[in-house]
Amino acid sequence: MKLRENASKIISDQKPHELAGQASVSVLKTGWVRAEGIGAPSAPFTYLQPEFDWTASDCYLFDIDGTLLNSRDAVHYHAFHRAVATVFGLEFRLDGVPVHGNTDVGILRAYFEQAGLPDSEWRSRLSQALEFMCADVEDNATDLRPEVCPGIPQLLQRLAAQGKLLGVASGNLERVGWAKLKACGLRRHFSFGGFAGELEKRDEVIAHGIEQAHKLRGSETTVCVVGDTPADIRAAHANGVPAIAIATGIYRTEELVACNPEMCVQCCEDLLRI
């Protein structure tokens, strides 16, 4: 109850669909990240479901893109482009391909389906393409320009000081995700991660993260997902764990609240105020 009283703006008495208003809530938005405007300062916002205590979990699984950081470079995009050109002889295009909330493997699948490439043809060369992408990002790591989202370093320090287990649950390939986190100095905060690669669906990535948390701290360890898209919220709930939605990616708070997270804030600075 104290949490609710102290929140900067509590709107949990309203129903998610009322908050969403006329907002169009798509499953996955298409197009690559537009650097402009994302992560720009906005007014504080806190949505909290009654009885949810965001500080109570033993482990927090953070998404990377749009949650921990926003990339101000095209290193990851160029890696997709060069891998598809080199391994498949095709020109990578993102028109109509869902990117936000998707995984790297899911993005490739959507592109190949759109390009009319049969499953059997791309599946056999997928691991080669993924290896190419990882090596390409690592080779160009000095060009990575990740911008850490507001309040993230302070939040991670606070959670670590409280003895919380911190992990990553990202649709990035593992080496790509760690390269971004290294480039902005956040790598040291995380002891493990769930990534795309052998796993394609975000549900599976989060399930893998939860599995690792249980191995590290025991099967009673409670986990909370922190993400910036409806896909993060759905994947958390599919695994029976709560989700904190942060509007530092491409989705607005009303679009995230419409997906019924346990909590939604404009940015992590709002969490630190509670």
Q: Using the 8-state DSSP alphabet, how is residue 229 labeled?
A: S
| 3-state secondary structure (DSSP) of residue 73 | coil
Q: Quick one: which of 16, 39, 66, 193 contacts Mg ion (CB under 5 A)? A: 66
- For Mg ion, the closer CB: 87 or 264: 264
Q: Quick one: which of 57, 65, 180, 251 contacts Mg ion (CB under 5 A)? A: 65
Shortest Å, Cβ 64 to Mg ion: 7
Q: Which stretch binds Mg ion (CB under 5 A): 42-50, 60-68, 69-77, 205-213?
A: 60-68
Dist. CA 19–CA 117, nearest whole Å: 41
Residues in the chain: 274
Shortest-Cβ-distance residue relative to Mg ion: 66
Report CA dihedral (193, 107, 105, 100) to the nearest 10 degrees: 10
Positions 228 through 267 that interact with Mg ion (CB under 5 A): 228
- Asked if residue 269 binds Mg ion (CB under 5 A), the reply is no
Q: Which stretch binds Mg ion (CB under 5 A): 17-25, 115-123, 226-234, 263-271?
A: 226-234
Bridge partners, residue 146, by sequence: 71
Positions 99 through 158 that interact with Mg ion (CB under 5 A): none
Q: Quick one: which of 33, 63, 75, 244 contacts Mg ion (CB under 5 A)? A: 63
DSSP state string for 172-196? EEHHHHHHHHHHTT-GGG-SEEEEE
- For Mg ion, the closer CB: 28 or 126: 28
> Angle CA(248)–CA(245)–CA(94) in degrees, nearest 5?
60
Please give the residue ranges that form the binding site for Mg ion (CB under 5 A).
63, 65-66, 228
